[in-house]
């Protein structure tokens, strides 16, 4: 019975630790990424995941005309720079933060509503033989409230 109890506690701890890894992403998004939205109101959606250096994530979203948006893309300090590109339906690059010294935010508005794709890539430290770094990356959107 004692062994059974130890095994159960061990299993619980393993599971709890695994779940809490992503839980940290929420705290990270809240503490680091949402403040980057500044005067823009966070839309309330949550897009965050643990990415490893070299890994990419994609996000599809419709953006509406006459709305003023800010996107904030943040990676934990232990990660290399996080690059993000915004593409239209024909894969034309509309913006790349690489051209803006890996800026964490981009402000934009649209003349007509469009579905756009955001590609986020964690760059690489290029250190062969070492375990690739991993950490939370969050993508948050804000818009200006019209009175």
Partner 1 sequence: MNKKHGICSKILIVVLIFVSLLIGCKSGGTKATKEEVTVNTPKDNTAVVEDIKQAEKIFNALPSPLESAMLIKSAGARFDASLLNPVGNGNSYVTNKSMALNLGIYTCDLSFASLYEQTQLIIDYMNAAKKMADGLGILKAVEQSQIDKLEENINNSEVIMEIVSETFMNSNSYLSDNGQPAIAAMVLVGGWFEGLYISTQLVDLKEFNGNKLVGRIIDQKLSIDILINLLESSKGNPAVDDLIVQVRRLKVVFDKISITTSKIRPEYDKTSNTTILKSEIKTDMTPEVFKELSTTVSEIRKTFVNN
User: Where on the chain is the footprint of partner 1 (CB under 8 A)?
Assistant: 3-4, 7-8, 10-11, 14-15, 18-19, 22-23, 25-26, 29-30, 41-62, 64-68, 88, 90, 92, 94-95, 106-115, 124, 128-132, 134, 139, 141, 143, 145-146
Per the rule left: phi > 0, alpha: psi between -120 and 50, beta: everything else, 141 is beta
User: Taking the complex as a whole, how short is the minimal distance between the CB of residue 83 and partner 1, in angstroms?
Assistant: 13
**Of 17 and 77, which CB lies nearer to partner 1 in the complex structure?**
17
Give which of 33, 40, 34 is closest to 82, Cα–Cα.
Answer: 33
Tokens of 12: 């619980």
Residue 120, Cβ neighbours under 10 Å: how many? 22
**Of 77 and 146, which CB lies nearer to partner 1 in the complex structure?**
146
User: Taking the complex as a whole, how short is the minimal distance between the CB of residue 147 and partner 1, in angstroms?
Assistant: 8
Buried b (16+ CB within 10 A) or exposed e, 33-55: bbebbeebebeeeebbeebebee
**Of 50 and 81, which CB lies nearer to partner 1 in the complex structure?**
50
User: Taking the complex as a whole, how short is the minimal distance between the CB of residue 63 and partner 1, in angstroms?
Assistant: 8
The backbone torsions φ and ψ at residue 37, rounded to the nearest 5 degrees and listed phi first, read -75, -15
User: Taking the complex as a whole, how short is the minimal distance between the CB of residue 104 and partner 1, in angstroms?
Assistant: 14
């Amino acid at each position: 019975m004692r062994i059974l109890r130890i095994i159960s506690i061990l299993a619980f701890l393993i599971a709890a630790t695994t779940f809490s890894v992503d839980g940290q992403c929420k705290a990270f998004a809240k503490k680091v990424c949402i403040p980057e939205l500044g005067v823009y109101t966070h839309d309330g959606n949550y897009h965050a995941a643990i990415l490893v250096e070299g890994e990419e994530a994609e996000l599809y979203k419709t953006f509406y005309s006459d709305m003023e948006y800010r996107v904030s893309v943040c990676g934990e300090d232990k990660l290399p720079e996080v690059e993000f590109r915004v593409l239209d339906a024909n894969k034309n690059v509309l913006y790349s933060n690489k051209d803006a010294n890996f800026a964490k935010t981009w402000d934009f508005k649209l003349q007509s509503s469009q579905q756009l794709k955001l590609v986020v890539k964690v760059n690489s430290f290029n250190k062969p033989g070492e375990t690739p770094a991993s950490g939370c990356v969050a993508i948050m959107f804000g818009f200006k409230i019209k009175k």
